[in-house]
Structure 1
Amino acid sequence: MTPRVAVSIAGTDSGGAAGLAADLTTYASLGVHGACVVTAVTAQDTLGVRSVHRVPVPEVGAQLDAVLDDLPVAAAKTGMLGGAAVVDLVAGRLGRGGDQPVPLVVDPVLVATSGAELGDRAVIAAYRRVLLPVATVVTPNADEAEALLGRRLPAPDAATALADLGCTVLLTGGDPDGGECTDWWAVPGQVPVALP
């Protein structure tokens, strides 16, 4: 039996705990063939991000073309995209209404756990303008939600505000100030649901 194909569009993590390494490991554990498009190469370990080298946009596009031209991609997931032009590229190719739309999971990797910035204001604006409205689901944590919204809100309100941008939201990690870790599921136009 031929496994289903999912493509991860993200950065590398030299420590192997995040980015493409984590996505491909997850795909394999689920019996899915993982293809990848490298957007950035990072030097990082358990202590933090030491450096980031962004892959030029034409090369990101060439990688994506190679995967889509050859493999029957059933779904895509993003991680660190690194630049607004890459956000535009992914939205135009894979999102609802794109050239080759597939179910698209957007993990808006904007800030590393160590606090290193992985996406600037232009990237955040591009997410809001073109990527979130065409995503199947977006999976920010509280810090990423704050970056995307430009303000910190209680978790259910943040999930609702992001859903108002036109996407289904799984806000992970709950409210860091609330002491309890609850994920929130929000669909545009509906009341958010707590997922304990």
Structure 2
Amino acid sequence: MSGGAPPVALTVAGFDPGSGAGITADLKVFAAHGLFGVSAITALTVQSTQGVRRVEPVAGALLRETLDCLAADVEIAGVKIGMLGSTEVTEALAGFLAASGIPRSRVVLDPVLRSSSGKALLEEAGVRLLREKLLPQVGWVTPNLAELAVLTGLPEPAQPAEIPEAARALARMAAETGRAAAGEAGLHVVVTGGHLDRPDDFLLAANGEERWFPGTRVETSATHGTGCAFSSALLSRVLLGDGPVEAVAGAKAYVRAAMKAAYPIGKGRGPMHHLYALEPKAGEGR
């Protein structure tokens, strides 16, 4: 990127004091892609690489005031949404997006519903509001298998062959609860397969195109925040001009490289390392 200020990317997510996930990890991803990151915290957490101990959501009014303050000062090119933490926060964010004028094609939702250690991060009423008011306002959603099941109400896919139909069900749900603005694409669904035997990801594009992205397992304990990094990298690639297929491929390559570059931090599932060349090394490909 040359000349002028970079695009401004907003992350709306929780604060991880260990910087492996959430707001601080998202800002690292934005910086690695040459974007300027701003943030609005949805919840404070007590956690480390060994798990989440406590979640304290912020007041919905405080989040909305933060978002309005940022939007009055800078032009927000796109939004990544992570952990919301409460129904109140979910409603405040939905209201902001409805009034913001930010194209839904530049809004990425990572539906963080449980921590990797199993702690629920959004109550049922919040999940329902996410489905009904937030999902129709985003252009991308990046659930893992468990999150896909919660959002659709279908059983969690037990094998890759079951993923496409579940993704179609989620896309239909979003279409039924909201309508895209004139000239805007609908919802791109990216199902992340990190919990599959082979970590393949699946894209159902808004135009109906379906594409698998093969993956290979990286033997590492640095897996904390992979979902956060993927969705933030995806938004970054979209803001830099990638089409849907290229954006998913680039985000997947980014996470893989950040995992491979990681060094030991903490006593549990450690963070990735974001300071490395974005392009894959010779022979690795995407």
Asked whether 1:194 is paired with 2:212, we answer yes
Deviations 1:80-126 (Å, cap 9, x if unpaired)?
Answer: 111223222222322xxx21132211111111111111011111101
3-state DSSP of counterpart to 1:26: helix
Tell me how far apart the structure 2 counterparts of residues 180 and 101 of structure 1 sit (CA, whole Å). Answer: 39
Within the candidate set 40, 47, 51, 1:48 is matched to 51
The aligned residue for residue 101 of structure 1 is 101
3-state DSSP of counterpart to 1:99: helix
The aligned residue for residue 197 of structure 2 is 179
Tell me how far apart the structure 2 counterparts of residues 81 and 120 of structure 1 sit (CA, whole Å). Answer: 10
Q: Letter of the 1:106 partner, please give it.
A: L
Tell me how far apart the structure 1 counterparts of residues 87 and 207 of structure 2 sit (CA, whole Å). Answer: 28
The aligned residue for residue 118 of structure 1 is 121
Tell me how far apart the structure 2 counterparts of residues 26 and 186 of structure 1 sit (CA, whole Å). Answer: 24
The aligned residue for residue 239 of structure 2 is none
Q: Would you tell me which structure has more helix in proportion to its own residues? A: 2
Q: Letter of the 1:69 partner, please give it.
A: A
The aligned residue for residue 89 of structure 1 is 92
3-state DSSP of counterpart to 2:34: coil
TM-score (norm 1): 0.91
Q: Letter of the 1:171 partner, please give it.
A: V
RMSD value, Cα: 1.6
Deviations 1:116-161 (Å, cap 9, x if unpaired)?
Answer: 1101111110111011111010111111111212232322222221
3-state DSSP of counterpart to 1:80: coil
Asked whether 1:140 is paired with 2:146, we answer no
Contact 2:60 2:91 in 1 (8 A): no
Within the candidate set 158, 163, 174, 2:171 is matched to 163
Stretch of structure 1 that moved more, 5-14 or 84-93: 84-93
Structure 1 residue runs of 5 or longer lacking an equivalent are: none
Residue 189 of structure 1: CA displacement? 6.9
Stretch of structure 1 that moved more, 12-21 or 185-194: 185-194
Q: Letter of the 1:172 partner, please give it.
A: T
User: Which is bigger in relative contact order (C-alpha 8 A, separation at least 6)?
Assistant: 2
Identity of aligned residues (%): 37
3-state DSSP of counterpart to 1:160: helix
Contact 2:83 2:111 in 1 (8 A): yes
Deviations 1:6-34 (Å, cap 9, x if unpaired)?
Answer: 11001001111000011000011111111
Contact 2:60 2:88 in 1 (8 A): yes
**Equivalences, count:** 191
Within the candidate set 20, 30, 35, 2:38 is matched to 35
TM-score (norm 2): 0.63
